[in-house]
Chains A and B, each alone.
Chain A
Amino acid sequence: MDFFDDGTPGWYALAILLLPLAGFCFNAFTYRTEFTRKRGHIVPLLTIGTALFCALSIFKHSVIDYDADHAGGHGTHAAAAHGAPADGSADEHASGGADGEHGAARAAGSLADPRWRWSSKDHGGSYRLIDTGALRLDAGIAIDHLTATMLVVVTLVAFLVHLYSTSYMHGDKRYSRFFAFLQLFSFSMLGLILTDNLLLLFCFWELVGLCSYFLIGFWFENEDPPKASMKAFMTNRFGDAGFLVGILLVYRMFGTTDLSEIYSKMQAVAEGSAAVPSLFGWETGTLLTVAGLCLFMGPMAKSAQVPMHIWLPDAMAGPTPVSALIHAATMVAAGVYMVGRIYFFFTPDCLAFIAGIGTVTALLAATIGLVHNNIKKVLAYSTCSQLGYMMLSLGVGGYSAGLFHLYTHAFFKACLFLGAGSVIHSVHTEDMREMGGLKEKMPVTYRTMLIATLALAGVPFFSGAFSKEMIVEHALVWGFGANVAKLLPALIAIGGGGLTFFYMMRLINLTFFGQPRDHHKFDHAHESPPAMTIPLLVLAFLSLFSVGWPIPLFGGKKLPELLAPPPALASIALGHDEHHGHAGFALAFAVLVISCAVLWVGYVLYKRTYKERRPGPEVWVARFGGLYTTVTNLYYFDEFYRATVVRLGNATARVLAIVDSKVLDAAVNGVGAVGQLVGKAFALFDRLVVDGLVNLWWHLSHAISKKLRRIQTGNLQDYLAFAVGGMALVTLLFLFLA
């Protein structure tokens, strides 16, 4: 078995997957013990720390060392090793930030040519999960660049959130349970990243949804969390139903759910050596688009894209570390990851849809962020908006830009959430109107949050700037030369930067600047303990330097270059092989200038509104009353759903209840009545015939014996007479018969 022959990755990948599960089991099964109840964080911290170490090792082994070893002509080696024609195209991907590579060539370190993989299908099915002959489900792990980088991001944020929670959740009566759920979530999320099978990905996808449900409703004694967790769960069910239909369509088309097999089959289609199997008599394009849209339903719900974004702000009812880990950095980004995973499968129509959804989300969520007063909900809408950016980027062909933004966003948004948690921990309120002036009291929280804010807004030299500008460049390249509508994503991506800066500065202003608005709360405020500030510092550092900076840190490559886009197989198959061209230096510079200008506008607006108060926010509210009301009511999405989906659901439930009580119950009762009737008939037969026969015998013998008993007189002489008479009778009989 070559699972571990290749040295580290096998063991490490397995350790990453199973350690958090072991931690979960430990906390779950020993929750009664004193150790787990009081020190429930120790085992989880150890497992997630080890997982982080393993993830870093895998990253080093599979990405940095590998690329360094194969720096000469690595595409050649990797492709040759897998028996494919060598073309060295991977080097072309590394040619610029805004690459528009769409050839059918294999990209090194991608799904088609992973750095390391193990699958049960290479072992004659010995380790197969399901093998019914017709349906085969292979277990497998594939590590490519996308996986390796995601592993590092997830384990790092998870580790920091574990560390943070030791302080934030201290004294909670379900302390160990919280860590158990964090561990279960880490396991599911890492499994989602590691697996190479769409169906298994779906299983882990459901598992993270389940953990999200548990953790949102962690404080289930309160009124909001259970409702919020139910809402999140139900909304995700909608998306997941589409996802499942998509998987079934893919299975029907290609007869497999294995991602690399789907890839190679799509490649055969793109090369023209095979045709997509027809289904329902649809054309290839329609079929692929429908399947792609169905698959996109999952990420749409999971990544909180309009119109299924409604659950994410409510999910803030959960503990803040959970908001940071699940609802900002990792789980909601799983949708983006998944779109990146099956990127080759999306047709141009699908991608345009994805871009459209992303654009709408980016804009709507940002505007709601402008007016909300709950610190966590502003951040939640900001997350929505940034996820919209990522989807937009993927939609317009900015594969590496979108995933790059996922990574930068994971760090600064986790930092912001943990910072917000630190503030909430200190002042015991989430309402920003009761905060203010905390700058002096919480210097570390303030500084780290400010850094993360600047990174989120995309101020130059902070990590967010690099990823956001790549997105804008891609959107511009995509939109140029087409109709005006196609330019909208680019325009909104640029304008959104200003909005982001405005609402984030508003958040910082309300929280940290000015005079304290609630003196009682202000007096109790204090800087958080090191277990909370250290994660903040680490994340702030990561928002400042490292991942974002265009320095070739990783085996002679910049981070976005590691994430070379896979060839757009679906587009090629449909003959839509559009070359968007590369964004040149001039465009990059122009984008930089325009972005800075927009940021400046956003900042000036913020300054005039909140600092100089000419005019203050109240005036704006008065001037745009109708719009303000609409936005503060969250665009009436909830009301709309209540009036349509919820009402429809309730009406359906009522109809079904009536059907249940009138039709189903009637049928059951009818069967009962028939049974009763038959029973009665049998009872009648029993009484008349069976009992009748028995009674007849009784009556007969009774009547006869009633007559016969008369001869039993007891009189001696009667008996004698009978005896003699009988003897005479017998004698006579003998005489006559003889």
Chain B
Amino acid sequence: MDHLAGYVFIGAAMFVLGVFTMVTRRNAIYVLMGAELILNAAALNFVAFARHLGNRLDGQMFAIFIVILAAAEAAVALGIVLQIHHHFPSIDVSKPDRLGD
């Protein structure tokens, strides 16, 4: 007997919190952390559904990939943040808006 609904509920909560963090926080580091939350919510869903649909390792494989991807993403994103900081002496994500109207 598993507790799929509980896992899915936690995953959804993590996703919403991640999105909320990314949208509201000005600090680039916080935005990255929001992204991490979303990724982990997805990974949690994978594992939960894999466990729910039988003892196969597909979900766990995806979760591991996501962790690796998140590491790579964090490296690239931090590089971008460094460049932003270099360009604007701040890591406030509302500052770089030159692509706007």
Q: Are A and B co-members of a single complex?
A: yes
Inter-chain contacts of A716 with B (CB < 8 A)? 31, 93-94, 96
Is there contact, CB below 8 Å, between A712 and B100? yes
- Counting contact residues on chain B (CB < 8 A from A), the size range is 10 to 19
A715 in the interface (beta carbon within 8 A): yes
Contact code string B69-101 (vs A, CB < 8 Å = 1, else 0): 000000000000000000000000110111111
Q: Is the CB–CB distance between B100 and A720 below 8 Å?
A: no
| B22 interfacial by beta-carbon distance below 8 Å | yes
| B8 to A: closest C-beta gap in Å | 15
Report how far A714 CA is from B94 CA in the complex, Å: 9
Is A713 a contact partner of B93 (Cβ separation < 8 A)? no
Q: Tell me the complex Cα distance, A717–B32, Å.
A: 12
**Contact assessment for A717 and B23 in the assembled complex, using a CB-CB cutoff below 8 Å:** yes
- Compute how far the CA of A732 lies from the CA of B24 in the bound complex, rounded to whole angstroms: 23
- Most chain B CB neighbours (cut-off 10 Å) among A712, A714, A715, A717: A717
Q: Which residues on B sit within 8 Å (CB–CB) of A715?
A: 93-94, 97, 100
Tell me the dominant secondary structure on chain B's binding face.
loop
Asked if B19 is at the interface of the complex by the 8 Å CB criterion, the answer is yes
Taking the closest CB of chain B, its distance from the CB of A563, in whole angstroms, is 115
Q: Kindly state the separation between the CA atoms of A535 and B58 in the bound complex, as whole angstroms.
A: 137
Count A-side interface residues using an 8 Å CB cutoff: 11
A709, A710, A712, A716: which has the most chain B beta carbons within 10 Å?
A716
A724 CB contact (under 8 Å) in B19, B93, B99: B19
A717 closest partner in B (C-beta):
B23
Contact B99 A714 (CB under 8 A): yes
Q: With the chains together, A724 CA to B17 CA distance in Å?
A: 13
A409 to B61, CA, bound (A): 139
Q: How far is the CB of A337 from chain B (nearest CB, A)?
A: 105
- Are A714 and B97 within 8 A (Cβ)? yes
Which residue on A lies nearest to B98, using beta carbons?
A: A714
The reply to whether A712 and B101 form a contact with Cβ atoms under 8 Å apart is yes
Q: A721 vs B19: C-alpha distance in the bound complex, in angstroms?
A: 8
Residue ID in chain A nearest B15 by CB atoms: A724
- From residue B13, how far is it (CB to closest CB) to chain A in Å? 15
Question: In chain A, what residue has the closest Cβ to B22?
Answer: A720
B85 shortest CB reach to chain A, Å: 15
Which A residues lie within 8 Å of B24 (CB)? 717
Q: Which residues of A, 676-725, contact B by the 8 Å Cβ criterion? A: 709-710, 712-717, 720-721, 724
Complex contacts, A712 vs chain B, CB 8 Å: 99-101
When distances are taken between beta carbons in the complex, the residues of chain A under 8 Å from B94 are 715-717
In whole Å, how far is A714's beta carbon from the nearest beta carbon of chain B? 2
Contact A713 B97 (CB under 8 A): yes
* Cα–Cα distance between A713 and B24 once the two chains are bound (Å): 16
In chain B, residues 18-32, which have Cβ atoms closer than 8 Å to a Cβ of chain A? Answer: 19, 22-24, 31
- A59 vs chain B, min Cβ distance (A): 113
Q: Do residues B97 and A720 form an inter-chain contact, with CB atoms below 8 A?
A: no
A714 contacts which chain B residues (CB < 8 A)?
96-101
* Residue of A with least CB distance to B26: A717
> Do the beta carbons of A724 and B23 come within 8 Å of each other?
yes
- A713 CB contacts on chain B under 8 angstroms: 97, 100-101
Give 6 CB contacts A-B under 8 Å: A713-B100, A714-B101, A716-B31, A716-B94, A716-B96, A717-B23
Rank and list the top 5 A-B pairs by shortest CB-CB distance, nearest first. A714-B100, A714-B97, A714-B99, A713-B100, A709-B101
Q: Which residues of B contact A (CB under 8 A)?
A: 19, 22-24, 31, 93-94, 96-101
- Interface residues of A, Cβ cutoff 8 Å to B: 709-710, 712-717, 720-721, 724
- Given A715-B93, A720-B22; 15 other pairs, CB 8 A cutoff: A709-B101, A710-B101, A713-B97, A714-B97, A714-B98, A714-B100, A715-B100, A716-B31, A716-B94, A716-B96, A717-B24, A720-B19, A720-B23, A721-B23, A724-B23
